[in-house]
A and B are shown apart, each in its own frame.
Chain A
Amino acid sequence: MTDTTTRPSGSDTDIKGPGYRVWFDAPARTVHFEGVLRLSTSEYKPIEDLLDRVLLDHPALGLRMTELQFLNSSGINMLYKFAIAARKKGDIEVKVHGSSTIPWQGKSLPNLKKFLPTIVIALD
């Protein structure tokens, strides 16, 4: 039986599910992460695809996390893998905007530097 409550909707660049939204603001070259993301590893695929696509097409990217309250380990895996893909691509500037008042961000975002040393992490 399929659990329809976790199925994402929206377009390739605007992914919505129960309690979360991930969307690409093309003019600002920024991917916005909002809400609570606690999906299973395979359920992150549409978001992974979005990140892969924008990585291919842009020399500079922002990831805005200031509205992302929770991210589980499968989501952290997705984020770190994105950093590795950016390192392998090379010649790309990535800036992460986070919030120091959201606990997981202070604990897990700094690790991004290990996978992509040039990444800029700004915690408000």
Chain B
Amino acid sequence: MDGIIGEYREPTDAGPRVTLVFYPGAFPVKWNQCSVAAEFFAEYFADVGEGGLTEEAERRDFVGSVGYVLNELIENAVKFCAGGTVVIDAGVDAGEFVMVVSNQVCADAVDGLRVKFAELLDGDPAELLMQRVEENAANPDLTTSGLGFLTMLSDYKARLGWRFDPAPGNPDNALLKTAARLQVKSS
């Protein structure tokens, strides 16, 4: 079940880096805490990353973009978590903001996820997004929108990657790490 899909990269210690671990067994993660955690990372790194973002518009864009992308990653991790911890690891590295959110999924789900992730990266994100919304409108009973990764790719130009590993101590689960990278400054 090991393997990497897309442009998977983890933060390094070369720049500022923060890791946050939720232990849902003792402390269930509530939906609104996804947003709080994402905002913490966005606000924190707006001030520490490469001397901080001093231009108001630049800072606003950074906080908005990191807040959106990371919130989506954490919502996914909480929604699809099959037990174990949810880990958020993020840092600034070579002009990019690098985020990795990890959670466990059922080992049975891995093959399906691989196909889904590969399809996301193969197609044109703007077109896939349009198709998906039209499908959602035609099927009002769907409980997930499927727009998280598509909006990250299409509207935020995020670079995405995924990594599967065995889950420590649980042969029924796999450890899924989802990586997203955003350009910190356009210059």
Stretch in contact with the other chain, from B6-14, B58-66, B95-103, B110-118 = B58-66
Chain B residue contacts of A103, Cβ below 8 A: 60-61, 63-65, 68
Contact digits for A35-67, partner B, Cβ 8 Å, 1 yes 0 no: 010111110000000000000000000000000
Q: What range describes how many residues of A lie at the interface? A: 20 to 34
Q: DSSP majority for the B interface?
A: helix
Complex contacts, A102 vs chain B, CB 8 Å: 64
Measured CA separation A111–B144 after assembly (Å): 20
Q: Which of B127-159 contact A (CB under 8 A)?
A: 129-130, 133-134, 136-137, 142-145, 147-148, 150-151, 154-156
- CB of B90 within 8 A of chain A? no
Q: How far is the CB of B120 from chain A (nearest CB, A)?
A: 13
Decide: A77 and B60 in contact? CB cutoff 8 A.
Answer: no
Contact residues in A for B79 (Cβ distance below 8 Å): 40
Check B31 for interface membership: any CB of A closer than 8 A: yes
**Chain A 76-98, CB within 8 Å of chain B: the 1/0 string?**
11001100110000000000000
Interface residues of A in 1-53 (CB under 8 A from B): 3, 5-6, 18-19, 36, 38-42
Complexed CA–CA distance, A115 and B79 (Å): 28
Most chain B beta-carbon neighbours within 10 Å: one of A3, A70, A85: A70
Given A38-B32, A114-B130, verify A72-B137 contact (CB < 8 Å).
no
Closest 6 CB pairs of A and B: A103-B64, A77-B145, A107-B155, A73-B147, A73-B148, A84-B137
CB-defined A-B contacts under 8 Å, sample of 21: A6-B30, A6-B31, A36-B35, A38-B75, A41-B142, A70-B67, A70-B71, A73-B145, A73-B148, A74-B145, A77-B145, A80-B133, A81-B136, A84-B134, A85-B137, A103-B60, A104-B68, A107-B156, A111-B129, A111-B130, A115-B133
